[in-house]
Structure 1
Amino acid sequence: MFYGGYAYHGSTFEQTYRCYPASFFDKPHLEGGDKVIMPPSALDRLASLHIEYPMLFELHNDATQRISHSGVLEFVAEEGMIIMPYWMMQNMLLQEGDTVRVKNATLPKGTYVKLQPHTTDFLDISNPKAILEKTLRNFSCLTTGDSIMVAYNNKQYYIDIVETKPASAVSIIETDCEVDFAPPLDYKESEKPQQPTVPASKATAEGGDTVVEDEPKFKPFTGSGKRLDGKASKLQASEVPSSARSVPSDSNKRSNEQTSAPATSGASNSTRQKTGKLVFGSSASNNKEPQKAPAKEEEPPKKDESKFQAFSGKSYSLKR
């Protein structure tokens, strides 16, 4: 049974209207919420039904199979027409004059909502949470998949409803609802700076600090001493194993006889370092007892002329 275009289905209200945006009727305040304006005949029908308050409606676009939900602000529209926010018409892919099916609905109170701004500039607002709370006071319900509009400082921000609990459409009137934000759609993660790789040879201390190995430094006065006359120094002689010294060769015997000649005269080992010879090394400093100067400087032993003699030759004067 139909009366005035309305269908009677027990306690259910269902009617088809032609939709128009709020700007057509000088109703810009509708854009800040999710409420629609319906004709007075709808109020008469709803008053005769035992429906729950606040009045919530399910909107259907049968051509595109899009569904959304809304509240009602007034019943002053012309018959057969419904005035809707433009952002809601965009969600449902509706154009001016398209038909929309309106049905009363009962929604659970929301406990959780996840939102995702379209642009990162929404997060640049000094207090986006306060702006969002103020805007949602004009909303009756939220539907997963919708994009709501938040107006602030002469700018419009669009926010997607990513998830709602405990159902895909919830009522947010007089309820405590937890709100979570997803990264904006145009958000790009900044490239992380590459950290320098630590070689495996470098150990890590217990406190977590990396122990850096000391670079090799120059160490002066290291190495073995060399004599200009070709003979072995005391340090090199001490490094020779005892087994090698026990059986001297013929060539070593000759050199030992020459080096032992000054020793038979009763002079100390220090007399081997005589004027005209340079010994590089620390062999002289290894002696614990201080060396005593010889009582009388002996003449150097005669050497073969065939051997190299350091610091020998004639001296010349720069004066003429």
Structure 2
Amino acid sequence: MYFEGYGYRGSTFEQTYRCYPASFIDKPQLEAGDKIIMPPSALDRLASLHIEYPMLFEVHNAAAERTSHCGVLEFIAEEGMIYMPYWMMQNLLLQEGDMVFIKNANLPKGTYVKLQPHTTDFLDISNPKAILEKTLRNFSCLTTGDSIMVAYNNKKYYIDIVETKPSNAISIIETDCEVDFAPPLDYKEPEPVKPAVPANTEPTGEAPAEEEPKFIPFTGSGRRLDGKPSKDKDMLASCPAKRQANATNSVQPSTASTSQGGSSRKTTGKLVFGSGGNRADKAPEKEAKEEPKKEEPKFSAFTGKKYSLKG
């Protein structure tokens, strides 16, 4: 059965309209909610079907296979046309003048909804819960998968409807609904803090730290009880390390001379390679030919000449 030539049939409201954004008419308040503007003929048909209030509709874009739900604000649009919020057209992937299918719907009252902001900026608002409650007063229903727009302080915030209960589409008119938030889409978890490396442990590949000098007893400077400055000889005598060093230095020359003499005398049991193999045998002959050095006369006390004071 058709109604006034506009194609209405059966006991439900089903009609196809051309869709246009709310900016085409002087109705900026449409962008703050989910309500559309329909032609007067739609109101006549809905009244004859005794549709219960609030009137809710299913909106379907057959070309993109996208579905959403909405309410109605007024019936003042031109015949064959409807006006809806631009964010709703984005959800349905609709362009200006595209055809959209409208059908009346009965939705259960919502008990739970999970929201996910697109950016963390929404959580930086002083009271995001109050702003969200105020915005949702202009909404009739929510559909899982939609992205609604919240306007605050001359800025637009988009929020995804992640989950709704008890069904994928719910009515939020005069109902107590539990609201939960998921982390924003641009949220990044903080990186785990690396534990500090203890001072006594060294990472692999690094050079070991220099060892601290070991303690050597009795190596400090001496001080006199009468307050007078100590002499260098006293300090040297009181330092065992210095005494040992002096003793070592005094022994070194005799040791060197002994080693040189010993090396010259050792001719047997020595392996000599090359053409100079007879050098070891000739060495003693040279030593034999060398004339012994004359010994210098030793100093003898009281051996000088005598002198008389008389002259």
Q: In structure 2, what is the Cα distance between the partners aligned to 1:158 and 1:6?
A: 37
Q: Which residue of 2 aligns with 1:9?
A: 10
Give a deviation string over 1:219-276, Cα, whole Å, max 9, x none.
Answer: 998xxxxxxxxxxxxxxxxxxxxxxxxxxxxxxxxxxxxxxxxxxxxxxxxxxxxxxx
Give a deviation string over 1:153-197, Cα, whole Å, max 9, x none.
Answer: 011110000110110000000011111111111111121211237
Q: Which residue of 2 aligns with 1:138?
A: 138
Moved over 3 A (4+): 196-199, 218-221
1:103-252 to structure 2, matched below 5 A, reads 103-196=103-196
- The secondary structure found in structure 2 opposite 1:130 is helix
User: How far did 1:7 drift?
Assistant: 2.4
As a proportion of its length, which structure holds more helix?
2
Give a deviation string over 1:28-56, Cα, whole Å, max 9, x none.
Answer: 11000000000010000000112221100
Q: For residues 219 and 173 of structure 1, do their structure 2 counterparts lie closer, same or farther at Cα, with a shift above 3 Å needed?
A: farther
Assess if the C-alpha contact under 8 Å between 2:120 and 2:187 holds in 1.
yes
Q: For residues 219 and 113 of structure 1, do their structure 2 counterparts lie closer, same or farther at Cα, with a shift above 3 Å needed?
A: farther
Residue identity in the other structure for 1:6: G
Residue identity in the other structure for 1:84: M
Structure 1 unmatched ranges of 5 or more:
200-217, 222-277, 279-320
User: How far did 1:27 drift?
Assistant: 1.1
Q: In structure 2, what is the Cα distance between the partners aligned to 1:17 and 1:48?
A: 20
Identity of aligned residues (%): 79
Q: In structure 2, what is the Cα distance between the partners aligned to 1:197 and 1:26?
A: 67
Q: In structure 2, what is the Cα distance between the partners aligned to 1:119 and 1:220?
A: 68
Task: Output the TM-score relative to the length of structure 1.
Answer: 0.61
Assess if the C-alpha contact under 8 Å between 2:8 and 2:45 holds in 1.
no
- The secondary structure found in structure 2 opposite 1:126 is coil
Residue identity in the other structure for 1:36: I
Residue identity in the other structure for 1:141: C
- The secondary structure found in structure 1 opposite 2:88 is helix
Task: Output the TM-score relative to the length of structure 2.
Answer: 0.63
Residue identity in the other structure for 1:132: L
1:274-289 to structure 2, matched below 5 A, reads none
Q: For residues 219 and 174 of structure 1, do their structure 2 counterparts lie closer, same or farther at Cα, with a shift above 3 Å needed?
A: farther
Q: Which residue of 1 aligns with 2:25?
A: 25
Structure 2 unmatched ranges of 5 or more:
200-213, 218-237, 239-311
Note the aligned Cα RMSD (angstroms): 2.6
Q: Which residue of 1 aligns with 2:43?
A: 43
Rg comparison, structure with higher value: 2
Q: In structure 1, what is the Cα distance between the partners aligned to 2:167 and 2:131?
A: 25
The worse-fitting range, judged by mean Cα deviation, of 183-192 and 128-137 is 183-192
Number of aligned residue pairs = 213
